[in-house]
Amino acid sequence: MIIPATSRTPEVAFSEQQCSIKGECYPEDISEFSIPIMENIKLGVGEADAYKAEIELYYFNSSSAKFFFDFFDFLDESAAGNKEISVIWRYREDDDTMQDAGEEFQEDLGNLIFKLEQLD
């Protein structure tokens, strides 16, 4: 399943054991954006022993930050239940803001594998 990118939201792609979010995230209605993503994540994680989320954001606003905290909290709690869950947070080489955001998210998570990856 793919949720196409818009001018205000990233592309979100789901497969059986993976989710990919790429682009800018500042939706007018965060609930409208986040509910289908969380439903698909819960379904995917629930059916898998291992799950991977790949995130590559260029910008997100404060309401999106709250969504990502909830997103990562769910994944972290699921990883505590003997599931192998990993997150790859990709950021551009010159994007200190996205690097810092990834580091802040990483600090709050203790059960899942969270890797920061600089893009070339």
The domain that holds 12 is classified in CATH as 3.30.750
Distance CA(23)–CA(8), nearest Å, equals 9
pTM for this predicted structure: 0.92
- In this structure, what token pair is assigned to residue 107? 């600090």
Share in percent of the chain as helix, strand, coil (round to 5): 40, 35, 25
Strand pairing category for 18-25 and 50-60: parallel
Distance CA(13)–CA(70), nearest Å, equals 18
Tally the domains of the chain: 1
Q: What domain range includes position 39? A: 2-119
- In this structure, what token pair is assigned to residue 72? 């990562």
- Average pLDDT of every residue of the chain: 94
For position 112, what pLDDT does the model report?
A: 94
Report how far Cα 57 is from the mean position of its chain's Cα atoms.
9
Distance CA(67)–CA(13), nearest Å, equals 17
Q: For the segment 50-89, what is each residue's pLDDT rounded down to a tens digit?
A: 999 999 999 999 999 999 999 999 999 999 988 899 999 9
